[in-house]
C-alpha cells in the first residue's frame, strides 16, 4: 500500500515493512515512540575497482539524487593496477561496523562481479550476491537477506535502465524473515 500524505511525504507499507519517503529521502526503518517517528536513513557503501569505477560513479549519482545516504569507499580514480579485494574489504567492514542504522548495505562493482562477491563473502555476517537482473535482486533480498550487491560492469555499464531496475528492486525488497531463511543465514555465519 502506498499512501501519499503530502507532496513531500509518502508512506509505503509492504509485507509488514514500512518505508517513509520524506522529500526524496528514503528511510527504511523507524521506531514509533509515543506518536513520534525516529527515522533512520539507509546507509549505503559503494566500492569499485578500475573496471567498475565508471558504473560506480553513475550509481552514486543516481542514489544520491534519490535521497540515499551514500559513502564511497573507493576507488577514487581509475587506477588499472588496483585490486578489488581492498574495496570489498572496506565496504564489508563498514557494513558490519555501522551501528547508526538498522540496515547498512554495500554495492560493489568490478568487471564480472564475481571477484568482489568472493572477497566480501569472506566476512562473517556478509551475504554478498552477484546480480544481473531484477528478479535475482528481488530473490536475494527476500530469501537470503543479501546485504552486499555485486554488479558486473561488463554486463551493466551500458544499460542504465537495467542497473537502475536492479538497484531499485534490491533496495526496496524486504527480507521475508521466514524461520527457514533465518536458519540458513545463521548456518552461513557458522562456517
The average confidence (pLDDT) of the chain is: 85
| Residue ranges of domains in the chain, CATH in brackets | 1-41 (no CATH), 42-190 (3.40.1400.10)
The reply to whether 150 belongs to the active site is no
The rounded distance, in Å, linking the Cα atoms of 149 and 2 is 26
Pairing, β 69-72 against β 105-110 = unpaired
The answer to whether residue 7 scores a pLDDT higher than 70 is no
pLDDT tens digits, 165-181? 999 999 999 999 999 99
* Among the ranges given (4-8, 57-61, 112-116), the one the predictor scored with the smallest mean pLDDT: 4-8
Q: Which of 110, 119, 128, 151 is catalytic?
A: 110
**Nearest C-alpha neighbor of 171 from the set 71, 70, 42:** 42
Say if residue 122 is preceded by a cis peptide, omega within 30 of 0: no
The pTM of this model reads 0.81
Amino acid at each position: 500500500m502506498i499512501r501519499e500524505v503530502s507532496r513531500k511525504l509518502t508512506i509505503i507499507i509492504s509485507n509488514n515493512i514500512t518505508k517513509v519517503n520524506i522529500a526524496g529521502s528514503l528511510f527504511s526503518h523507524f521506531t514509533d515512540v509515543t506518536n513520534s517517528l525516529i527515522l533512520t536513513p539507509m546507509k549505503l557503501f559503494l566500492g569499485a575497482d578500475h573496471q567498475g569505477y565508471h558504473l560506480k560513479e553513475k550509481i552514486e549519482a543516481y542514489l544520491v539524487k534519490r535521497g540515499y545516504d551514500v559513502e564511497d569507499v573507493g576507488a577514487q580514480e581509475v587506477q588499472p593496477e588496483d585490486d578489488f579485494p581492498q574495496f570489498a574489504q572496506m565496504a564489508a567492514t563498514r557494513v558490519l561496523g555501522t551501528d547508526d542504522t538498522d540496515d547498512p548495505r554495500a554495492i560493489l562493482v568490478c568487471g564480472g562481479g564475481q571477484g568482489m562477491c568472493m572477497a566480501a563473502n569472506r566476512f562473517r555476517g556478509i551475504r554478498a550476491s552477484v546480480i544481473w537482473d531484477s528478479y535475482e535482486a528481488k530473490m536475494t533480498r527476500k530469501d537470503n537477506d543479501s546485504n552486499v550487491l555485486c554488479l558486473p560492469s561488463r554486463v551493466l555499464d551500458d544499460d542504465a535502465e537495467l542497473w537502475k531496475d536492479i538497484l531499485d528492486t534490491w533496495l526496496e525488497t524486504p527480507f521475508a524473515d521466514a524461520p527457514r531463511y533465518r536458519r540458513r543465514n545463521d548456518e552461513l555465519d557458522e562456517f
